[in-house]
Structure 1
Amino acid sequence: MAELWMPGAQRLSIGNTAALDGGPAKAIAHITWDRNASVAKPAPLVPYENLRDYFSKNPAGRAVAPHILWDPFTGRIVQFFPADSRSLSLADKPGGTRTNRAGSVVLQIEALFFPYCEVDGKAYARLADTPCEGWAELQAWARSWGVPDAWVMGRPDGFKSRRSAASWAGTSGWFAHGDVPENDHTDPGSWPAFVGATAAPRFEPFPGAGFFMKGNAPALGKVSPVFTAMGQRLVAVGCGRYKVGPGPTLGQADVDSYEAWQRKCGYTGAAAKWPPGPTTWNKLQVPNV
């Protein structure tokens, strides 16, 4: 089962959590780029502790904090937000897509790195050239939240932007910071290769409560194959309240069926009401669609 706090990471919650909007699971690759250096003038890597304190204690840093700060030279990792909350490292313009919230998860990973940083007398031009300690564990944690081992806009190769609003809205996977709509950064420039074989998650990850709602009411009429798979599972566990279907259009029968499932799981009163929650969703084991 996916863990809200990455196993092995230092847990340093800064509060200020907020709900996600639901949709495709995403992970965003950033670098801290906290110094400007060059091949002619490399600069010492900023201490990990400085960035950890910046994101956790400094008001300016807390306002742009990611989920994860990762030191690829030592494998140290600290987490500031749980996976089911938005973090704050993406530009989010009024009236546009809520970039920091646009998914069932939007896991933002800040690598402690800038081009031509110097560590133990060696300068590193690209993040991918570092030891990348801890990367396999980060990748596995993101995968556990439904983020596939795939770069939606291509693996980062140089400091550039390849933004696509349609791909951002509709596709699960990894995005470079430079490939996110509304953002003007071009990092990370490079990123380590994925480790091991890619496998689709067996069960549909919890898409977030907002996926099932329109304002304060159920999102009746919304169409998604997730609703068909959910309904079929509800029938299989003896909680179906359908006269027809289930099908891809969310209807009152889906709401009634899921509330029956929540009661079967032992919930009562308001806790048994729509929308689904992560505990009952994971227990239902909706097949991945």
Structure 2
Amino acid sequence: MPELWLPSAERHPLGDTAPTDAQYDPRVIWHITWDKNGSPTKPLDRVPFDNLVRYFTGAGKSAAPHLLWDPFTGRTAQFYPANSRSKSVVDTAGGTRTNRTGRVVLQVETLFFPYCRVGGMTYRTVRETPGKGLDEILKWARSWGVPDVWPMGTPTWSAKRSESVWRRQGGHYAHAHVPENSHTDPGPMPKWPTKGPKPKPGRPAFPGRDSFGPGKSNASVLLLGKQLVRRGFGKHYRVGPSREWGEADRRNVRDFQLAQGWSGADADGLPGPETWRLLFA
């Protein structure tokens, strides 16, 4: 199993752990701490790392990430294990559980703000920093299956948010990409070579409820049956799935729905959009 704690990170466990929504693909969310507002004419000195550690273990617990990372020194501190959610993005009740969407949802707060001054030099973006320690963070993310891709594009200072992309694809996301949020950080990030797992091929589109049920015969019924078998929900097939809808299909779909914790009309054995999405996740 991959490491729950980044090997080189200082450990400051907050203890307030909670599971993620593991049916979604793994991902990383990148932030900057944005402690001050520098400008081209008035750059400001970087905030000390230990100040942020005290903040995230004290008054800022409610917004703590997994990692605090200093791109100038490579120093890192970790507050949650990889298999727990952290709390650095807005998570609206009733919406996508943005802090939990993925097998892991690793959140990294980069110790930085625009026009940050370090050692007499001014840095406008994280991309301009030395990026020390980034390779180890990426290696750790890859060990959890996070692919080296930005599904909504490499970060800029503009927001770009898509609920459907967020749900479907793992990879690296800016805070500016996360649904339900309004921040535009982290801005341009360092470029890194692709070394990790390749992103999964796109999920087949849901063909519609009318494709399934008594008397239906089509390629979607066969595709559904094959995926049920792949996911371990094919025990009611005597021979195997086919293009013809049958009671075995309904019972296998119902088993899958029950495994999601659904009941009543939500577990009737007829696939809808959410059943399809989770089955092919």
> What's the TM-score once normalised by structure 1's chain length?
0.71
Q: Distance in 2 between matches of 1:124 and 1:225?
A: 53
Moved more, 32-41 or 17-26: 17-26
Residue identity matched to 1:121: G
Is the CA contact (8 Å cut-off) linking 2:26 and 2:170 kept in structure 1?
Answer: yes
Residue identity matched to 1:168: W
Q: Distance in 2 between matches of 1:83 and 1:250?
A: 32
Q: Could you list the per-position Cα deviations for residues 233-283 of structure 1 after superposition, in whole angstroms to 9, with x for gaps in the alignment?
A: xx9xxxx89755599966659x99xxxxxxxxxxxxxxxxxxxxxxxxxxx
Is the CA contact (8 Å cut-off) linking 2:26 and 2:104 kept in structure 1?
Answer: yes
Matches within 5 A, 1:182-201: 182-200=180-198
Q: Which residue of 2 aligns with 1:20?
A: 20
Q: Which residue of 1 aligns with 2:151?
A: 152
Shift of 1:170: 0.8
Question: Structure 1: which 5+ residue stretches go unaligned?
Answer: 203-222, 257-288
Note closer, same or farther for the CA distance 1:137–1:183 as it changes in structure 2 (3 Å cut): same
Q: Which residue of 2 aligns with 1:76?
A: 75
Shift of 1:143: 1.1
Identical aligned residues as a percent: 48
SS at match of 1:99: coil
SS at match of 1:160: coil
Is the CA contact (8 Å cut-off) linking 1:30 and 1:176 kept in structure 2?
Answer: yes
Shift of 1:144: 1.0
Is the CA contact (8 Å cut-off) linking 1:231 and 1:246 kept in structure 2?
Answer: no
Residue identity matched to 2:111: L
> What's the TM-score once normalised by structure 2's chain length?
0.73
Work out which of the residue numbers 163, 168, 171 in structure 1 matches 2:169: 171
Residue identity matched to 1:107: L
Residue identity matched to 2:175: H
Q: Which residue of 2 aligns with 1:113?
A: 112
Q: Which residue of 2 aligns with 1:2?
A: 2
SS at match of 1:63: helix
Q: How many residues align?
A: 229
Is the CA contact (8 Å cut-off) linking 2:88 and 2:99 kept in structure 1?
Answer: yes
Q: Could you list the per-position Cα deviations for residues 79-117 of structure 1 after superposition, in whole angstroms to 9, with x for gaps in the alignment?
A: 100111110000011211111011111110110000011
> Does 2:92 correspond to 1:98?
no
Q: Distance in 1 between matches of 2:67 and 2:147?
A: 18
SS at match of 2:99: helix
Q: Could you list the per-position Cα deviations for residues 114-148 of structure 1 after superposition, in whole angstroms to 9, with x for gaps in the alignment?
A: 00111000010010100000001111111111110
Is the CA contact (8 Å cut-off) linking 2:148 and 2:194 kept in structure 1?
Answer: no
Q: Distance in 2 between matches of 1:226 and 1:146?
A: 21
Note closer, same or farther for the CA distance 1:155–1:54 as it changes in structure 2 (3 Å cut): same
Note closer, same or farther for the CA distance 1:40–1:50 as it changes in structure 2 (3 Å cut): same
Moved more, 6-15 or 181-190: 6-15
Q: Give RMSD over aligned pairs.
A: 3.0
